[in-house]
Structure 1
Amino acid sequence: MATDFYDTLGIARDATADDIQRAYRRLARRYHPDVNSDPGAEDRFKEVSQAYEVLSDPAQRSRYDQFGADFRRVAVDADRPRGTSATQGFQGIDIEDLLSGLFRGRGPIPGADQEAVLELTVEEAYRGGHRRLTLPGTDRQYDVTVPPGVLDGQRIRLAGEGGRGAGDAPAGDLYLVVRIRPHPRYRLSGRDIHLTLPVTPWEAALGSTVPVTTPGGEVKVRVTAGSSSGRRLRLRGEGMPNPRGTAGDLYAEVRVMVPKHLTRRERELFEELAAVSEFTPRRT
């Protein structure tokens, strides 16, 4: 009873009897086990049927609207007909007739489209390639071609790998929704890649060319002399690839790092620098 019956049928609380019946017919055609072979379809069909059984009966609907999940504890009118069957009792809708009408009157029914999640690392999304995927809770395996530069939320279509069709109708499609896992080094913003670039005080002060590890491999970046922490360096075209257009950019944010433990000579040099330098970063 945790699920609201109105939400189950996808209707408003002031829906008419015709609205309820139309919603039920649409969902029954979609989720009936004879039409949809998805592992969760049968449970979904039962939820839809239960919601329709209650909301299509004015007396039960009234009690449900008043008492919510506790409506079954309220006394039922003794004159109300009882004993209706699962296939005959839904206020004039015969499930067997509904399904036979699908096959006879409307011809073959195409299989339902299905969705599953495909998790990738940033590196896998950057490179693309082939993946062997097994759907959770099933023994169904698929060879998936991941295009390079795929983004979080994009869908990869596997034609004909969805729910089975009825009669001679084709199967539906399986859509793999890409989810890119959080990465300790890279942050994605569209096709742009952001990362932190640690540099030494002397590399920042004097300028230097330093290596940067990207999802596509190592590249070199020029740190301009006098760079402070927070400065962003842009590497055009080094972000996520785009098979249909311009690749994203890579942004490396400078972070000046100092040794945690100094050798005797390092300390001497820093002390000498402190003695001769007139630089004061807190000067206004």
Structure 2
Amino acid sequence: MSDDPYAALGLSKSATAAEIKKAYRKLVRSAHPDLHPDDAGAEARFKVITAAHDLLKDPALRARFDAGEIDATGAERPPRTYYRDHADAGGQGFAQGFGQRSGPTSRFGDFGDPSDIFAHILRQRARGGDGSYAQPGPDLRYTLEVAFLDAVLGSKTRITLPEGGNLEVQIPKGMQDGQSLRLRGRGGAGYDGGPAGDPLVTVQIRAHPVFRREGDDILITLPITIDEAVLGGKVTAPTIDGPVSVNIPKGANSGRILRLRGRGVARARGPAGDALIELRIVTPPGSDAALCDFLAEWRKSHADDPRKAMMQEAAE
């Protein structure tokens, strides 16, 4: 039996409280006697793991052990005198000592998480039960890639399960990237007659070539021509609900934002977001001789430097 609780959990003395808990929960699943009834050594391993965790999870006990004041069983270390003074001290076993020190608690330790299947075993043993338990089966996790508009507008799709069969998944309006959906009752089989677990489907949303999302707002970059920017006019713009007509104001510059109220992401509760249309002036493809000649003449009598103020501010 290990006399080093750190070694029992496969940890170093610098392990954090979170690392101790994680190691314990991982190891206990591989050694729990109720989960491994055919493993003759499971009981002994389980006692060692549980006793090690009981010591290290308590900051005060851990500090005393690290300082050499107590041993791995939690017993006080005797002063360095003659052996005969302590020959009858009779230390406790690794797991037994913790049971006595902590009072009338179960030998299964403190799992902390009430959703853990072992928490029920702990309660059963503490009450003198026979160790049987009816618990939900494990949740199964899946990843589902969804088109941008399907996530924004809502849709139905199906996923194929690794073990065969498929599940219909309802994507609600306004689903965001990384959110998960819980589908009741199609997860792992329950324990001792318990209900099945749930599939948890994490949604990954594909990028869209036109639309971007910021909260509940939809961002759209809209190209406009030079004449549309100078003269203004009506143009057609895309939205997630279909094309709409928008007014370009005279003298519009690239970067100007036009806001379309309520044309963004709609949710079951609360108002919908907006569509934010950012204007971007584009020049005609190729070389337009007539336009070049016009602008060359126009430049002669309309000299302007839109960067002048910027350059002055940058020099300050």
Please, what TM-score do these two structures have when normalized by structure 1? 0.64
Answering whether residue 148 of structure 2 is matched by residue 122 of structure 1, we say yes
Q: The residue matched to 2:292 in structure 1 has which SS? A: helix
Shift in Å, 1:168: 2.5
Q: The residue matched to 1:270 in structure 2 has which SS? A: helix
Q: The residue matched to 1:222 in structure 2 has which SS? A: strand
The structure showing larger relative contact order (alpha-carbon pairs under 8 Å, at least 6 residues apart) is: 1
Distance 1:21 1:138 in 2: 30
Q: Equivalences for 1:69-84 in 2 at 5 Å?
A: none
Shift in Å, 1:55: 6.4
Q: CA RMSD in A?
A: 4.3
Q: Is the 8 A contact 2:264 2:274 kept in 1?
A: yes
Q: The residue matched to 1:126 in structure 2 has which SS? A: helix
In structure 1, give the amino acid aligned to 2:189.
R
Answering whether residue 192 of structure 2 is matched by residue 167 of structure 1, we say yes
Q: Deviations over 1:35-70 (max 9, x none)?
A: xxxxxxxxxxxxxxxx98996798xxxxxxxxxxxx
Q: Which moved more, 1:270-279 or 1:244-253?
A: 270-279
In structure 1, give the amino acid aligned to 2:134.
P
Structure showing greater Rg = 2
Shift in Å, 1:107: 3.0
Q: Which residue, out of 290, 305, 315, partners 1:265? A: 290
Could you say which residue in structure 1 is the equivalent of 2:276?
A: 251
Could you say which residue in structure 2 is the equivalent of 1:223?
A: 248
Q: The residue matched to 2:150 in structure 1 has which SS? A: helix
Q: Deviations over 1:83-108 (max 9, x none)?
A: xxxxxxxx8999xxx9xx68953431
Q: What percent of counterpart residues are identical?
A: 34
Distance 1:270 1:245 in 2: 50
Answering whether residue 145 of structure 2 is matched by residue 109 of structure 1, we say no
In structure 2, give the amino acid aligned to 1:12.
A
Task: Call closer, same or farther: CA 1:200–1:53 in 2, change over 3 Å.
Answer: farther
Distance 1:128 1:33 in 2: 45
Could you say which residue in structure 2 is the equivalent of 1:143?
A: 168
Distance 2:199 2:132 in 1: 24
Answering whether residue 201 of structure 2 is matched by residue 196 of structure 1, we say no
Q: Which moved more, 1:255-264 or 1:267-276?
A: 267-276
In structure 1, give the amino acid aligned to 2:148.
V
Answering whether residue 8 of structure 2 is matched by residue 12 of structure 1, we say no
Shift in Å, 1:141: 0.8
Answering whether residue 267 of structure 2 is matched by residue 242 of structure 1, we say yes
Distance 1:227 1:112 in 2: 58
Distance 1:33 1:250 in 2: 58
Task: Call closer, same or farther: CA 1:152–1:167 in 2, change over 3 Å.
Answer: same
In structure 2, give the amino acid aligned to 1:234.
R
Q: Is the 8 A contact 1:6 1:13 kept in 2?
A: no
Distance 1:27 1:206 in 2: 75
Q: The residue matched to 1:211 in structure 2 has which SS? A: strand
Gap runs ≥5 in structure 2:
1-8, 38-44, 53-94, 97-106, 109-117, 310-316
Distance 2:25 2:155 in 1: 44
Q: Is the 8 A contact 2:160 2:167 kept in 1?
A: yes
Distance 2:36 2:264 in 1: 45
Q: Is the 8 A contact 1:151 1:191 kept in 2?
A: no
Q: Is the 8 A contact 2:10 2:23 kept in 1?
A: no
Task: Call closer, same or farther: CA 1:256–1:271 in 2, change over 3 Å.
Answer: same
Q: Which residue, out of 120, 131, 135, partners 2:157? A: 131
Distance 2:297 2:201 in 1: 61
Shift in Å, 1:13: 8.1
Could you say which residue in structure 2 is the equivalent of 1:205?
A: 230
Distance 2:170 2:256 in 1: 38
Answering whether residue 306 of structure 2 is matched by residue 281 of structure 1, we say yes
Q: Which moved more, 1:165-174 or 1:250-259?
A: 165-174
Q: The residue matched to 1:281 in structure 2 has which SS? A: coil
Q: Is the 8 A contact 1:11 1:23 kept in 2?
A: no
